[in-house]
Structure 1
Amino acid sequence: MSDTTHAPRAILADDERLMREQLRSRIAEVWPELQIVAEAKNGLEAVELTREHKPDLVFLDIRMPGLTGVEAARQIAQLPEDDEWAVPEIVFITAYDQYAVEAFEQGACDYVLKPAERDRLLVTVERIKKRLAQRSGEAEPDGPSNGTLQQLLHSLSARVNPGGAPKYLQWIQASVGQTIQMIPVEDVLFFISDEKYTRVQTPTVEALIRKPIKELVDELDPALFWQIHRSTLVNVKSINGISRDFRGRQLVGVKGLDEKLEVSRSYTHLFKGM
């Protein structure tokens, strides 16, 4: 089983770099002894890095490309154990508290709601420290079995991806000045990319993310967001009209803003008859 005489070791998995940085900073405040030995940008990386580093603890974002955090946790729970290492403790990082409540109530894992708050993270740290002590025989075990964890992960997986439906983004983790905000996808009017950043525009906030349009196209519901240019996605519900400029280019008007979004020739078919 895990050797907890060494400083505890963890892997941090989140597809948003800013969220990884924020959580790593908060963890350093509340648990300075914990070593973050690797960081993953998606679920597949999280599984492989767990196999390689054999940590005591894995922080998993619920929503990640490749594998969701729940799917990654299921694979991690099936990794072979040995005399020196057991399946790590799992902490889900989530903006979706409806998923987290079940995990919390069953006690099979823990969760931290985004953005990670120091006081809530302290509670998680104390729970994980207790479980690691139980593993090493320093405390009586009262945690769930691996079978209980597997049952919970199966249930959570169905809730994250009901009926096998596409797993579209529900929240955008974006940088607004020096802070990170969780922006509901339905509040976004449009996304526009340049070479380095993607602008996220809501009726009240202009934010930045590093995810390019080509990735967002695959992660957003195509019934809600139309690509109208190689660098632009627009929320269909935010469109208030189509016009043409003096050069004949189609321009999309957006509710509540004076800004017009250019439609490239490849996407003019979307607005035929409008």
Structure 2
Amino acid sequence: MLVADDEPLARARLRALLARHPEFELSAECGSGTAVLAALRDGPADVLLLDIRMPGLDGMATVEALAQQAPWSLDRPPCIVFVTASEEHAIRAFDLDAVDYLVKPVDIDRFDRAMRRLLEKLGAPSRVPDAGAIAAADTALRAALQALRGDASAPAGDSGSRTASLAGSEAASEAGYAKRFVIRDASGMYFVPVVDVDRVEADGNYVAVVAGGRRHLLRESLHLLASRLNPEEFVRVHRSHLVRINRIRRLEPCGHGEYELTMTDGTRLTSSRSYGEQVRRLLR
């Protein structure tokens, strides 16, 4: 596997995340698309983790150059996973046959799912690291995350100044909430604005995003999706249901800490006792 990102701290975090997956061996690190092409001429890689915004040749242009130059000696081109700070390039990424598209700061569970998807694509068996390897990887990941947050005491102009700048952009990203979901279907990609979402339901390995009477399947856990939504606008009422607060028309207690919710579209849901406190907060 080859990792490309122009920020050394971002590469450190990816290294720490990869250490949890012994199926993959990190063969090279690059800071630009030009360096990626040069590295692949020296030796093949079956997976590329590419940042999109890099100086000179960016991640997208690098993949396009690979399609033309094919500087690898494998029977097939490398699998591509884009890792970037914005969702805006998702459609183009999948047009380039990317296996996955990760948005920074990358969640551990989301990264793990991307690695499982790569294994399925490559037809490789998964391996479970021992407890010592997991502990070491987690320690490295914590160190990388701490470095990404930056050292506030670093004086301007020294090597810590770039870290502080990067940490500021990462913090701003963490503080924000999703504004739209990227949905993939057989015909391509499309967007569902969060402002249109009425509720979200767990559906096996997917979640169903319900907006305007339509269900849009998204391969993500309900727990992770909930963390991307503003808690002032959405409330978890059941382990399988997340609803927009202003779409609740009526609440009726059912006893034992449970409530029946009637949504503005007429849908009826029953909250569970474990989420009773979240529902009761709506009544205060």
TM-score range for the pair, normalised by the shorter chain length: 0.3 to 0.5
Q: TM-score, normalised by structure 2?
A: 0.45
Q: TM-score, normalised by structure 1?
A: 0.46
